[in-house]
Amino acid sequence: MLRVFKFNLTDPDHFVVTLELVPGREASGRAVDTVLGIARDTFNDGRVTAVSITDNPGGNPSLSPDVLGYDIFKTGMDVIVHFTCRDMNRVGMESRALQLAMMGMKNILALNGDYSGKGFGGQGAPVFDIDSVQLQIMLGMLSERINESGDPDGFFAGCAVSPFKRTEGECFAQYAKLCRKAAAGAGFIITQLGYDARKFKELIQIQKVMGIALPSLGSVYVLTPKAAGIINAGKVPGAVVTDALLRRVQDEWRNSTSGRQAAIERAARLAAVLKGLGYAGIHIGGIHRSFDIVGRILDRLAVIQDQWKEFLADFDFPQPNGFYAFPSQSEEESGAPVFGLDPPRSSLFERLRYFLLRRAHDTFFDPRHPLSHIYRRFSQLIDGKPGSRLLMYLVEDMPKRMALGCLKCGDCAIQDVGFLCPESQCPKHIRNGACGGSSNGRCEVYPERPCVWVRAYRRMANAGRTRQIIDGCVPPRLWELNQTSAWLNFHLQRDHQGISNEIARRCKVIGCRL
């Protein structure tokens, strides 16, 4: 009988176990047979609720999680399909979602996705037409259509969060985006990989502060020296293995037998800690050859789960000078997070730019401004007239290009990103918060420069305006406005701020406490 992931996850007495499977680059052969064999053994064991199938991990081509997942789903094993925003535009993504619904696979892990890797002929063009918050809204609206057609079972979409961030700006950006994902309809949370029990606890605490009551699965990985080295080198965006942990793993694996046993013990102990902290389950990764290691982890967990407090010291691998939202490590879970109490200072130039851009925005682009009706009337007069294109090029395009690196998308969102351009300064064009791939405040794709959302947090924290990163959400960019005047589009209510549709209405009610 098919195990229903949603049913088990919402049962408070059921500690859920899911297993991540990674397809290879072949359509058949040993790699596919291995993954299918692990899935069959997982189903026969009976202790794992669902397997998840990754979607082109690392941005590199692999067998589709949809087709592989469907083969597994037909055996009776419930499946969670990873669904990224990287490789398809919104049309292709909606079509893919309809296909998954028709196949009966409605458990979705909605992700921005890693940046594009190499495929046929070189690096693929990254799409990122919508982000993971907007994807949650899309899946929610499709679920309503599915229900209206007579099927009571819509999508059960979850989200990811990376609590293992070193800087205050990154931490705030992760939790603010989690708030938006939850409000947009996410039904569960899966964490990124890390080995800091205090950070795992922080995620549970921050959800209580924000009023998010979603079941969370903590990631548990079978750590080998090779995997630890890859993660330590920053090649798995969002995951953290510190230098101290890497050295410990390397020492453990001087003998492969004892190293494998140490990896199993670490995974079982982390699972026990997560259960003790209040997580609804665990998400096991790093299984590439057989189900045997998963069985040994679960066997050991059953023996040691009540001793979880004894294992907290085994997961004390903080990042150097890392930020924690709650300063106390006591067992008390009360208290407020300390975001913004001593925010990292932006340079004088950065603060001045933010002040001037905000003042200009409040003067010329606030519908409540006393002169807003005059701006609207002037826009109506020049819109489409001969010479208006040259006028807007001189007064809008050139200054915005110099000040913001503007790409003239025609649907401006700088006001939502601390007056920084998400199109030109974020490689994933994310309008609703940071992706999980930053490291030490640096961009996943261009590590030589700061993450644009970290810069935005610094600007807004210095001005006491971080609430703006949490309230509401930003609808998808309107591509029909590309290469037109964003100023005219705003005043004539043609951009995402002015139009009234179901997406805009849903975005207006999104928000929570932080």
User: What residue type is assigned to position 376 of the chain?
Assistant: R
Whether the Cβ atoms of residue 337 and residue 209 lie closer than 8 Å to each other: yes
Instruction: For residue 333, give the nearest of 217, 207, 439, 444 by alpha carbon.
Output: 207
Whole-angstrom Cα distance, residue 171 to residue 461?
A: 13
Instruction: For residue 317, give the nearest of 493, 434, 193 by alpha carbon.
Output: 193
Instruction: For residue 13, give the nearest of 281, 379, 364, 406 by alpha carbon.
Output: 281
- Cα 260 to chain center, whole Å? 31
Along the chain (514 residues), what's the average pLDDT of each consecutive run of 10 residues? 82 96 91 95 97 95 96 96 97 98 97 94 95 97 96 96 95 95 96 97 95 96 97 95 98 96 98 98 96 98 98 96 84 72 79 93 94 96 92 94 95 95 96 94 95 94 87 92 97 92 83 73
Identify the pLDDT of residue 513: 72
The predicted model scores a pTM of 0.95
Whole-angstrom Cα distance, residue 271 to residue 284?
A: 9
Identify the pLDDT of residue 332: 54
Q: How far is CA 25 from each of CA 19, 119, 156, 287, rounded to the nearest angstrom?
A: 20, 10, 28, 17
Domain 5-224+278-291: assigned CATH number: 3.20.20.220
Query: For the chain, which residues make up each domain, given as ranges?
Result: 5-224+278-291, 348-508
Whole-angstrom Cα distance, residue 325 to residue 327?
A: 6
User: What residue type is assigned to position 457 of the chain?
Assistant: Y
